[in-house]
Each structure stands twice: as C-alpha cells, then as structure tokens.
Structure 1
Amino acid sequence: MSDRLTHWVDGKPWTGSSDRRGEIFDPAHGSVTGHVSLASELDVDTAVKAASSAWQSWRWTTLSRRARILFDFRAAVLRRRDELTRVITAEHGKVLDDADGEIARGLEVVEYACGIPALLKGGFSESVSTQVDVASIRQPLGVCALITPFNFPAMVPLWFAPIAIACGNTVVLKPSEKVPSAAVILAECWAEAGLPDGVFNVLQGDAVAVDRLLTHPDVRAVSFVGSTPVARHVYETGTSHGKRVQALGGAKNHMVVLPDADLDAAADAAVSAAFGSAGERCMAVSVVVAVEPIGDELVAGIKRRIAELRTGDGRLGADMGPLVTGVHRDRVVSYIEAGLRAGAELAVDGRDVDVDGGSDGFWLGPTLFDHVSPETSIYQDEIFGPVLSVVRVPSFNRALDLVNASIYGNGTALFTSDGALARRYQSEVEVGMVGINVPIPVPAAAYSFGGWKSSLFGDAHAYGEDGIHFFTRSKVVTSRWPHTKAPRGDIDLNFPGR
C-alpha cells in the first residue's frame, strides 16, 4: 500500500487540491499503514464536472454495450477478488472469509445489472384512442453520488454503482475514509472493463465532501448507507436541494425464538448473526427475544458457542476480528458499562477476551447480556459491535409487540416450527426484511434491500427493481400518426376520449 491513497477522477488517479489527509489503520495491530487524501469542496466540483461531462455521451450508449461492459467488469472483479479480500481485511478487520463473502454478494447485483436490456424494457399500447399510441420509457437521471459506509467497502458500492451505470447515469463514489482502498480497486476494474472515463469516479473524503455532494447543483441523486442520525441529515439536506435521495439508516434487529423452535439451530444462528464481522453489520442480530420457558436453555447454548469462538487477526484464521477503530471500540465498551449500571446480567464479558493478534489492536470479544430491560440503552440504541442482548418475554404476542415498538425496522427473524405463527409474524411485523428460520434476511439481488421506520429515509430500497426505478425517471409518450391527412378546420375542443 502506498503512503497516500488518492482519488480516481475522469478515468485515472488524481491527487486533488487539498492537503488534508486521514490515517488508514490496520485494526488488528492498531498501527497506521498509510494515509488517504480528504477532498476539498473544489475537489468535489472537479469530480462532479468530470461525471457531468461523461454523462452527455454515456446516457446515449446502447444497452447492449452497457451490458458487455458490466460483464467485463464482473470478470475484472473476479480476477482481483483475492486482492480485494485482503485489502478489506487489512483496513476493516473482518476475517478473510467474511470479506470474500461481501464481494460475492456484491457480484450478485452486478450479475443482475447485466440484464439491463430486459430490466429497462418499457411498455407500449397501440390504439389507446383513434390512431393514438402510448409508450412508457425510463431514462437516466445524470450524476449520482454514492456515500458508502466502512463496514462493507466493496459490497455496498456494488449495490448501487452497477445499477446506476447500467441505467445510463454517471457516478461519484465517496467511500468511508476508514476503508478507502477497495473503492480504487473497483475503479480500476471499471477501467479494465472499458467503461468510458468519467462515468465512475472515486472521491476520498469526509464530511466536507459529503456536504458538498448533497448541495451540488449538478448532482441529481444520492444513495447513502450509515447511521440513522446521519441518514436523516443526508435525506433532509439532499431533498431540500432538489435531489432524489435514498438513505439507509441504522437498525436494532430482533431474533424471536419460540418454544417450539430447534434451539440448537437458533443458538447457532444467534451467534453467527450477532458476531460475524464483529457485529459491524446493519443486519446483525443484536437482540434475541426468548419466549419462555426456553430462555435458560437458549442462553446456555449461546454461551457454549461463544466459548468456542476465537477472536484475532482475520488473516490468521480467527472467527472474529477486531473493530474498525479504537474510537469505535471504546464507544462499544461504554455501552457494556452502561448495561452493567442498568442492572443487566453480563453472561459473557468480551472485554476480557484472549486474542490472536497485535497487543494494540482494536479488540473486543463477543459479549452477551441476559435479562435485558427494553428501557436500557443497550436495548434501544444501535451499538454496532459484538454485543448481544437477550430479552425474555412470556408470549408470542408480547414478542411481536416488542419488535413493533422499536423505532427501527430494518431486519428481523423468527425461529419456529409453527407455520401459522410464522405467517402471522411476517404479515404483522413492522420491519422491512423478515427471515423465517433465517437469521440475516438479506434479499437476493432480484429483490430489494431496505427497512422501515427510522431505518430508511426515502421511498426506494437498494438494488433490485427498486434500484432500477430509483436511478431512472419514467416518461410516457403519447403519439398520433394518422393514416390519412386530417382535413383543414378539423378542430375539436373536447377532451379526447376515443
């Protein structure tokens, strides 16, 4: 890795005008491995200008050529998959298998976008009135800004960019400054695929770049993934400046376990979904709702499985890696301390974990609280770390009410063998993504990803059909080509109805 990672604008690396820079850490060792440029407002303007210029020709590029470039982009990512995996682990800390898994899920969206000639098909009706035909078409928006989070450096950009580009838009990607390298590798893959210069740009930066993208007059749409307070800011700022915005916010995902569930499978699922990627997933299970009388048995099973996990450097075969920064690790620890003050039972204390990694790494092991009250901060807040809370309730109805009372509505899961209750749960729960005996219900690429309530601002979910609609505008064309020339003076002031 070079000492300073820069932007990618107009088809090539670009240093920009700003001298500001941020540090890139190796979370497993707590050491600085490089620096990243932080864009100024002038740098944003330059990147948007390049994207605006490229859009003038890219918007008219044939669907067949767009599809071929997408196929070639997929091939380029596959060639560099191992490199991407290693970079993600080095900068984020997640284990290699998890890093590789996010690339696989991102590639599913690329494969979906390869079908753009079919996905952008409009409608046509002949003779809706006398010699009048009507057609519907979808057209691109222009420059689209993508503001993506630290926890999925490859997958989230791949949720948005392939569909935006396939639909005929150009892109300015602002990745998290904590994990900046994967975005540049993706830019190089687009270039290898033959994407014209300026169609895909990477702007490294922080809040300065974000705020300028949200207010820039030539940016037509903004896609964002992050915490709820920032998502609300992005949505309100972007829409107030006339932009189309989809802002995916935070989560507090509940996994409800009924007494008739396979408790071994439920315990496996809870541990996998809570502690994968050190809990730094918007789809992580952070609350297990145990419907009595199975609480004691379920908690015991979860504890046994936690004891088998190895925390350490993700490049050395560990099950769970470090958190992304020391500041974030300390924030998560503060929630553990708050839970203790609130009287929750600390069944497993991740602060005492033995690690296989650097002594200065940003470590926190799997942590389990039992008998958690819904009034506490460890229940109500999105912690975004390896902290799992168990809440015990007396009935299915109480569990459903508990989930629906949350301000978040991103993901939820129900573990049961009762089909009728499962059907009722998926119908009545106020959550955007529901898993039945599936702990992390991330939809396949042909569907769409997104939550309800404070987990989503805007009307469109990510990728799938919603993604196509978000990155295009609908237009309806009504045309008349009469078979014979109309006689002079044929004036009719009535509304045409036949």
Structure 2
Amino acid sequence: MEPRRLKNFINGQWVESKAHRWLEVRNPATDEVIALCPETTPDEIDRTVRIAQEAFWSWRTTPPPRRAKFLFDFHEKLQKHQDEIARLIVDENGKTLADARGEIIRAMEYVEHACAGPELLKGSHAEDVGTGVDTMYIREPLGAFVFLPPFNFPAMIALYFVWALAAGDTAIVKSSRLCPMTITRIIEIAEECGFPRGVLNLLHGSGSGVGEALVTHPGTAGVSFVGSSKVGERVYKTAIHHNKRAQCQGGAKNHVLIAEDAIIDEVMQNVVDSCFGHVGERCFAVSNVLAVEKIYEKVKEKFLDLSKKLVLGYGMDKGVTLGPVVSKEALNEILKEADQGIKDGAKLLLDGRNAKVDKYPKGYFLGPTVLEAEPEMRLFQLEVFGPVRCLKKVKDLAEGVQIINQSPYGHTANIYTENGGWAREFARLVDVGQVGINIGTPAPIAYFPVGGRKISMYGDIRGRANEAIDFYTDKKVIISRWHSSFQGTAKTLDDGFAMKYSKK
C-alpha cells in the first residue's frame, strides 16, 4: 500500500503542499512507512499566517456563546470517532490501544472545558473607584496563536488549541513530524463543524523549519509548546525575542518516594504502571524510584517481578502492555543512555535492551530496563524518554526530598505513605509543579492547570484550563467618567483618583 501523502489545512481547505522535501511517518511496531508529511514551504507558511490574521477579527467579534456552539459540535463529532483516533495513535506512536483510548478520554475533557468559554471570558468591574469613576477590565483575544504539540500525545496536547478558539483567537497547529496523522484526522472532524475559514489551520513539517518560521513570523501572537526542555528553552527565548507570548512545557525526571508505612502489595502495580505506561514516553512518567532502606529490598523485588510481567508487542494486539518506542532514532538514543549509565557504575537489575518480538522483527522494541543508580549519575539526572528506570535506596524521607530537589527538573514528585503528616510535609517541601500522594501519575484533570518548575517550564502562565484563558487573552482596563447627570451637576475629581486633594 502506498503511504498517504498528508495535506495542509489552510483557509478551510485541504491543500497539497509544494514542498520539495517529504518526511516519512513510520509505524514503530513494523517499521512500515505509513504516511509522508511535507516540509511546508516558506510561502505556504506566510500565506497561512496572513489568512489566520485576516480571519481573526471576525472570529474575535463572534459572540462567545456562538463560538462555544462550534466547540460543542466538535466534541460531539469527536466522540463518534474516538476508537478510530485511538487506532491512529497506536499506528503512528506505538503506545497500546488502552493507553491511546485513555489519551482520547482526557483530550475530550479539554474540549468540554473550553466549551465553558462564555463563563471563563468574563471580565471584572469596580464602581466608584473615584468620584463618579468606574473601572473595569475586559479580556481581549490577541490574534493568531501557534501550537507545537509533541509526538507522545498527538491528540490530547494538540487539542490545546480549543482554548484559543474559545477565547476568540485563531489557531495554526504544526503537527508533530513523527505523529501527524492523528491531528490530521482531528482537523478533518473539525472541518465538519463549519468553523469559519482561516480560524483553524494545520501545517506539517519539522520543528526547526516550519515551527521556527511560525514562531518568528511577525503575524503570530504567541506560541504554546510541549516537548523537551532543550527545545522548549529555545522556543521560549525565540518567541520572547520576537515579542510573542510563550508557554513552553519542557521535560521531566520525576521521582516517587516510598515510605516505610506504604502498603507495598497495593501500591507497587501503580508504581510500575507510572514508570512504563505510554512506553515511558510522557512527562508524567516516574523515572526514579526511591524507597527508604527499611523496605527497599521488598520494593525492589516487587518492582522487578511486576516489570517482568509486561508484555511487549504491537499496541493493537490483545494482551500487549508495552509497545515500541516512537522511532528508531529514539530507540538508539535510549540505548546509548542506558549503556552509558552502566559504564558510569549503575547496576543493571533488569535488561530489556535486546528485546525481540517475533511477530514484529523490525519494531523499535525495548523491554523494561531497570538499574540501581546514584543521584550524581547522568542516567539518574537526565530525562530518558523511554522504559529505562532507576532505583535508589534512601536513609529516610528527608534524604528522598533532598534528592528530588537536587534535580534540574521540577515537574512531578510522588509519595506513597499512609501518614497524613508525612504526605503534607512532602507536598510542601518538594520543588515541583505537581505532587502525587499514593498516585504515581498525578496528571491533573482538564479543568486544572498543568506545568512544572525549573527547566520543566518556560513561561509563567500555563496553557491549559482557566490559565489558558489568561494566556490567550489580555486584560484591557477601561476607566470611565460621565459628565452628565439627571440629578444635578456631576461632581469633580476632588479625591485621590485625580491625584490631588482639596485643602479643608
């Protein structure tokens, strides 16, 4: 079967790119080329931005309830295609069908929250801040926003654009070059809803080429990015240098700390799922498992036993619990880091480096790989985006917190304990954006913000939930006073608002 040549969606139409370079999209389980996406040309990028700009004012002045009706319709249509989208995710990303379905459920919740736009866009008003003076602020959308989603959640994070549309902005989504088919199908579904032309656009291509061109284009207002910390920092600095708004979520090296009173037989499956769910390719994945010395050996034994039970294979096949990593390049990078960790002195406890799946000999498979490592080691500190995990024995909870806070990342930290005081203190002490208590993957529900600290986040406004409305709008303050009165003459500004005071 010939691989599908993906088209761009510009001004309400699917357009074949005039690109000279086409990027392969491969099924990670089979190594089969399943699609080709264009490296969109500079002229096509410029045209798309201009179209999004031209569509902005009409969409901005569309009443928020009417904008919300488009999103309600979009949500209804997405529901009908959930399983189809989940299968696309499996084919181009590699995660299991169960994980893909979980992604779609959370993605749908994003749309649900954005449907509340009319409520979220309310401003504020204060009467008589001075004599006869009223002050209010209104939320104004800003223009065309750029969305740079990652490969690991090609549906969920790509749908960040729904908050921009709810706010009255227009959107240009640049697909992940590794997983562009999912968002292409989502935009096809959005097209059925009748969004005005130019309000929602999709371009394909590389981040360094198409993504950077969109961020630096004078016609875009801002960018929302999710990806590695290295690229996130670059996107953020590029955006603010060009006077754009930027919200860039970076990588993570998350820790779980298991206290001596944790119910080991109950929690360890959750720990393992948190380490290896979605093939370990998610910012909420647990990378380092810390356990206090009193229970460390039991934790290690249970962790290794459960990890060995994971079943490698193609995510569509029954019984598979761990799919391939996204690309051959990703596999080689992960293997290199694991090998370096062993050279640095990490003790190999479970080796998945030579994993084979007979039915899919060309797949990018890596079994659970577990090592005992020390905090100063590169493997312990660096984000490894795949199923390679570290174990570490700590003296007590205080040492565990110290190790967590030494990390350059600040995304998520988790504790397993039945002691409320310990949990409360842990939550207050760890320098991260999210904390899990007896939950290994504390990914907030759609109507809560998500983000990190330190190099896990660039920007101070998160691009999701209520904070998304802050990001995609600006508060314009309007101060007013009227000189007419039907009960006498309007009073003068004789108080502090006029910054002068009359002497008595």
Question: What TM-score do you get using the length of structure 1 for normalisation?
Answer: 0.96
Q: Mark the CA change 1:260 to 1:142 in structure 2 (over 3 Å): closer, same or farther.
A: same
Structure 2 CA distance for aligned equivalents of residues 251 and 487 of structure 1: 63
1:323 alignment counterpart: 325
Contact 1:29–1:357 (CA under 8 A) maintained in structure 2: no
**C-alpha displacement of 1:494:** 8.0
Structure 1 CA distance for aligned equivalents of residues 432 and 278 of structure 2: 23
**Paired residues, number:** 496
**C-alpha displacement of 1:197:** 1.3
Q: Which letter does structure 1 place at the counterpart of 2:204? A: Q
**C-alpha displacement of 1:3:** 2.5
**C-alpha displacement of 1:481:** 2.5
RMSD of equivalent CA atoms? 1.8
1:131 alignment counterpart: 132
1:366 alignment counterpart: 368
1:192 alignment counterpart: 192
Contact 1:313–1:356 (CA under 8 A) maintained in structure 2: no
2:340 alignment counterpart: 338
**C-alpha displacement of 1:130:** 2.2
1:151-166 matched pairs, under 5 angstroms:
151-158=152-159, 160-166=160-166
Q: Which letter does structure 2 place at the counterpart of 1:279? A: G
Structure 2 CA distance for aligned equivalents of residues 87 and 487 of structure 1: 70
Structure 2 CA distance for aligned equivalents of residues 490 and 360 of structure 1: 81
2:498 alignment counterpart: 496
1:25 alignment counterpart: 26
Structure 2 CA distance for aligned equivalents of residues 330 and 470 of structure 1: 37
Structure 1 CA distance for aligned equivalents of residues 38 and 359 of structure 2: 28
**C-alpha displacement of 1:462:** 2.8
Q: Mark the CA change 1:81 to 1:373 in structure 2 (over 3 Å): closer, same or farther.
A: same
Contact 1:103–1:155 (CA under 8 A) maintained in structure 2: yes
**C-alpha displacement of 1:487:** 7.2
1:312 alignment counterpart: 313
Contact 1:311–1:356 (CA under 8 A) maintained in structure 2: no
Q: Deviations along 1:107-161, whole A, 9 cap, x unmatched?
A: 1111111111111111112222222221111110100000010100000012x21
Q: Deviations along 1:164-212, whole A, 9 cap, x unmatched?
A: 1000000000111110011111211221122111111111010111111
Q: Deviations along 1:384-438, whole A, 9 cap, x unmatched?
A: 0001100111011100010011000011111011110100111111000111111
Contact 2:130–2:495 (CA under 8 A) maintained in structure 1: no
Structure 1 CA distance for aligned equivalents of residues 272 and 22 of structure 2: 38
Q: Deviations along 1:4-53, whole A, 9 cap, x unmatched?
A: 11211111211223221100101101121221111122221111111111
- Give secondary structure in 2 for the equivalent of 1:251: coil
Contact 1:123–1:136 (CA under 8 A) maintained in structure 2: yes
Structure 2 CA distance for aligned equivalents of residues 191 and 2 of structure 1: 23
Q: Deviations along 1:220-254, whole A, 9 cap, x unmatched?
A: 01000111110010000110000000110110000
Structure 1 CA distance for aligned equivalents of residues 84 and 266 of structure 2: 34
1:390-401 matched pairs, under 5 angstroms:
390-401=391-402
1:144-223 matched pairs, under 5 angstroms:
144-158=145-159, 160-206=160-206, 207-223=208-224
**C-alpha displacement of 1:491:** 9.0
Contact 1:11–1:196 (CA under 8 A) maintained in structure 2: yes
Structure 2 CA distance for aligned equivalents of residues 448 and 146 of structure 1: 17
- Give secondary structure in 2 for the equivalent of 1:430: coil
Structure 1 stretches of 5 or more lacking a match?
none
**C-alpha displacement of 1:352:** 3.3
Contact 1:63–1:117 (CA under 8 A) maintained in structure 2: yes
Q: Which letter does structure 2 place at the counterpart of 1:157? A: A
- Give secondary structure in 2 for the equivalent of 1:133: strand
Structure 2 CA distance for aligned equivalents of residues 359 and 310 of structure 1: 15
Contact 1:289–1:390 (CA under 8 A) maintained in structure 2: yes
2:461 alignment counterpart: 460
Contact 1:257–1:266 (CA under 8 A) maintained in structure 2: no
Structure 2 CA distance for aligned equivalents of residues 482 and 140 of structure 1: 31
Structure 2 CA distance for aligned equivalents of residues 37 and 72 of structure 1: 30
Q: Mark the CA change 1:423 to 1:492 in structure 2 (over 3 Å): closer, same or farther.
A: closer
Question: Which of 213-222 and 344-353 deviates more?
Answer: 344-353
Question: What TM-score do you get using the length of structure 2 for normalisation?
Answer: 0.95
**C-alpha displacement of 1:492:** 7.3
Contact 2:149–2:226 (CA under 8 A) maintained in structure 1: yes
Q: Which letter does structure 2 place at the counterpart of 1:123? A: S
Q: Mark the CA change 1:436 to 1:494 in structure 2 (over 3 Å): closer, same or farther.
A: closer
Q: Which letter does structure 2 place at the counterpart of 1:346? A: L
Structure 2 CA distance for aligned equivalents of residues 437 and 352 of structure 1: 33
Q: Mark the CA change 1:488 to 1:13 in structure 2 (over 3 Å): closer, same or farther.
A: closer
Structure 1 CA distance for aligned equivalents of residues 491 and 321 of structure 2: 82
Question: Which of 31-40 and 134-143 deviates more?
Answer: 31-40
- Give secondary structure in 2 for the equivalent of 1:52: helix
Aligned structure 1 segments of 4 or more residues deviating by more than 4 angstroms: 485-495
- Give secondary structure in 2 for the equivalent of 1:94: coil
Contact 1:145–1:173 (CA under 8 A) maintained in structure 2: yes
1:275 alignment counterpart: 276
* Residues 1:384 and 2:389 aligned together: no
Q: Which letter does structure 1 place at the counterpart of 2:183? A: A
2:51 alignment counterpart: 50
Structure 1 CA distance for aligned equivalents of residues 358 and 64 of structure 2: 50
2:8 alignment counterpart: 7
Structure 1 CA distance for aligned equivalents of residues 442 and 475 of structure 2: 30
